A and B are shown apart, each in its own frame.
Chain A
């Protein structure tokens, strides 16, 4: 076999010009997409920068909020599951800023709308009505599927935006999804295919391709979570999720306490949830109730609230196993508004 030697004569014809031109084209495409597409068309790098603990690719929907200079911009990503909103890091004078950290129950659809009837906007409506002179702002950073690990990340990020109060809605059912997500993301980013997500051209064209052909969005499956918790039996898995959740709630409360920001906790929807988390709703709510300290940490016991309503008026409060219907949202909002008023000295 001939090895190239320094004495061999050079010929332009020997250069694979076609291949070189192709590489040049691809490089040009990469530069063009980097110049033209800022977030919300995002690459892995964008996410990694914002969520160092949970880097993920927009297709599955990390619903990212991007700090841009002195402003946080929450934009719909490929998954379209975030409430589009922008808010400055420094709040305007006189504004009372309430930030909701939660998951699907407190999420309000792709568009922030008070009339949607979910409990955060309903609560906000009640507060605005009760305090017409106050300049209130509700920033809902809830994202469907978020468990407590990613809520901590979002909480930490939100702290920089001068909140006056946090409403933290954490519930047991999303803890398993956190495991699914972690394993899913790890698989997605493994190997060469994962590295390609650092390319803006690949991400943008991938989106274009999947949109054009109607390719279904990949979703984490329970098999992913099995992979994450391989070797653990069901009891050990439950313990792991429970401990993780408790640790994360403590972390959020500690961070809030360090800045003297009051927190209202909303727990599991049902005391008897029998899904993947094995009916730990009661245990979670029991734990959350022990954290209540005066007006700085309050807790809304939703199952107790609903139990009373159901027994009293025989009303339906759920639209599925855990999500509230309009009736349930109103009930929660009615109970939450006074807690917010108690927690916020400016509203007392």
Chain B
């Protein structure tokens, strides 16, 4: 059940109404939300509900045992069990095919004929998100940051809450559980901001992402014969497609959660206006990057074990972050690329701060220059993310480097790109320069923007309820 379909609108309307009618009876609301979430997930594939509950129950009981135990060895054993189970689930369903195939390819390279059995394992939707969410919960309990949740219903609500179940944001227990275990309020402001978030989310998904998808899909279906203009435009288009798709999803998730009385964490903060790689990762998929920071980078030693180790930790974190996205060498390459960007940025940081011009104009221009450079580095990074194989990456790069060719059909794509992204980028720029830009405008100015957004969806929204890119992760 996709957020951008009438079916979801009906489902959510019913849930919203029932949730609202239950008023302050938050326990009854939790029952409703768990049931609705199971239905929501079963609409994808009811067979994997068992897996969701298995993952959930393991961490529920492990957390209770962790809290009850004071023996460090037993606690270590328990947390190892929890992490192993969650990573085991991920490994089996997400990565086994990849490792088997890669292993077979490697053996074949060395002259051993390997014929791996086709495992045909289907990837359960949302697996990467809910396993990471429950893992963070048990680790936090292990670290003593939060108490274990005793109420299974509350815990099930936390893990399976449908707005974030299939593609995040990866919420932390310390943020959501207190909201689950208390009466939730729905003041008019929350209603308004929730509806606005849903509207902008739909705009990003239906108008920007789905329209640009046609440009991108067309280009990536013929990577061997792309002209330079087509290849470059496809990369720019994909940069906005994935941003529109994922941040649009997140906005709808946050909006629907708001209408149910929850406050989800911010997952995107104008990422294409980032000034450096580190800034980018504080703006893009914030819930994942902060997860990786707290549960991978810092345990690896963070920046506390010397300069070289810091660089290695950064690189490894991003490499694994890349692999989290999908079981493919292209995602490994994407992670390595961003790891490298972070490493290079860290190395150049002292030099950059020395050459940074002072003064308002100089400083401003310097920021614009860094923004532009970072944006283009990110755009280039999307190539392995979008490509189906390393060969496609090579073909697109060759198209850019070697092949000329007239603009031809690419001019239509360029028009599409500008038309689809102009309003969003203007709004993001305004928000960056003047925080809460839109909220502080007069009602008529806001009304104009809302009308433009609604019209964009109505007249040019791609029909058919296309799926979200991040659902595959």
Contacts and interface: CB of A to CB of B under 8 A. Distances in A.
Interface of A: 1-3, 14, 16-22, 24-26, 29, 191-193, 196, 199, 201-202, 205-206, 209, 212-214
Given A1-B19, A205-B459, A17 B447 contact: yes
Nearest to A11: B188
Contacts of B23: 1, 3
Given A25-B451, A201-B455, A202-B459, 11 more contacts: A2-B187, A3-B20, A18-B441, A18-B445, A19-B450, A21-B443, A21-B451, A29-B451, A196-B458, A214-B412, A214-B415
B186 interface: yes
Contacts of B99: none
Interface string B5-29: 1100100000000011011101001
B20 A1 contact: yes
Contacts of B146: none
B195 A19 contact: yes
A24 B447 contact: yes
7 contacts: A17-B447, A18-B441, A19-B196, A22-B446, A191-B5, A206-B459, A209-B459
B6 A213 contact: no
A78 B358 CA distance: 57
A213 B416 contact: yes
Q: Closest 5 A-B residue pairs measured CB to CB?
A: A21-B447, A18-B446, A17-B443, A22-B450, A22-B451
A201 B26 CA distance: 44
A209 B460 contact: yes
B20 to A, nearest CB: 6
Nearest to B418: A213
B185 interface: yes
Contacts of B448: 21-22, 25
Contacts of A29: 451, 455
A205 B443 contact: no
B447 A19 contact: yes
Contacts of B188: 14, 16
**Which of A14, A18, A191 has most chain B Cβ within 10 Å?**
A18
B347 interface: no
A18 B458 contact: no
B185 A205 contact: no
B271 interface: no
Nearest to A14: B188
B6 A191 contact: yes
Interface string B228-252: 0000000000000000000000000
Contact of A18 (B22, B261, B416, B447): B447
B454 interface: yes
Contacts of B412: 213-214
Given A3-B20, A191-B6, A213-B412, A18 B450 contact: yes
B263 to A, nearest CB: 13
Contact of B185 (A1, A25, A193): A1
A25 B445 CA distance: 11
Contacts of B459: 202, 205-206, 209
Chain B facing A: main interface SS? helix
Contact of A1 (B189, B261, B444): B261
A6 B443 CA distance: 26
A26 B419 CA distance: 20
Nearest to B450: A22
B463 interface: yes
Interface in B445-473: 445-451, 454-455, 458-461, 463
B183 interface: yes
B184 interface: yes
Nearest to A196: B458
Interface residues of B, number: 42
A26 B446 contact: no
A232 B203 CA distance: 40
B192 interface: yes
A26 B195 contact: no
Contact of B454 (A17, A22, A206, A213): A22
A213 B186 CA distance: 42
B13 to A, nearest CB: 13
B242 to A, nearest CB: 21
Given A191-B6, A213-B416, A18 B183 contact: no
Contacts of B26: 1
B185 A2 contact: yes
B415 A18 contact: no
A192 B6 contact: yes
Given A1-B23, A1-B183, A16 B192 contact: yes
A1 B24 contact: yes
Contacts of A201: 455
Contacts of B419: 209, 212-213
Contact of B455 (A24, A26, A213): A26
Nearest to B460: A209
A24 B192 CA distance: 17
Contacts of B415: 212-214
Interface string B423-457: 00000000000000000010111111111001100
Contacts of A199: 458
A25 B449 CA distance: 11
A213 B214 CA distance: 13
Contacts of A21: 443-444, 446-448, 450-451
B457 to A, nearest CB: 10
A193 B463 contact: yes
Contacts of B195: 16, 19
Contacts of B5: 191
A214 B454 CA distance: 22
A303 to B, nearest CB: 41
Given A26-B454, A213-B416, A20 B184 contact: no
Nearest to A17: B443
Contacts of A202: 458-459
Contacts of A192: 6, 9
Nearest to B447: A21
B395 to A, nearest CB: 25
Interface in B12-54: 19-20, 22-24, 26, 29
Interface in B152-189: 183-189
Given A18-B447, A192-B6, A213-B419, A206 B19 contact: no
A196 B441 CA distance: 30
A19 B195 CA distance: 10
B447 to A, nearest CB: 3
Interface in B126-152: none
A2 B186 contact: yes
Contacts of A16: 188, 192, 195
Nearest to A207: B459
Contacts of A212: 415, 419
Contacts of A18: 441, 443-447, 449-450
Contacts of A205: 455, 458-459
A338 to B, nearest CB: 50
A213 B416 CA distance: 6
Contacts of A196: 458
A198 to B, nearest CB: 12
A20 B185 CA distance: 24
A202 B415 CA distance: 20
**Which of B261, B412, B419, B447 has most chain A Cβ within 10 Å?**
B447
Contact of A22 (B184, B185, B447): B447
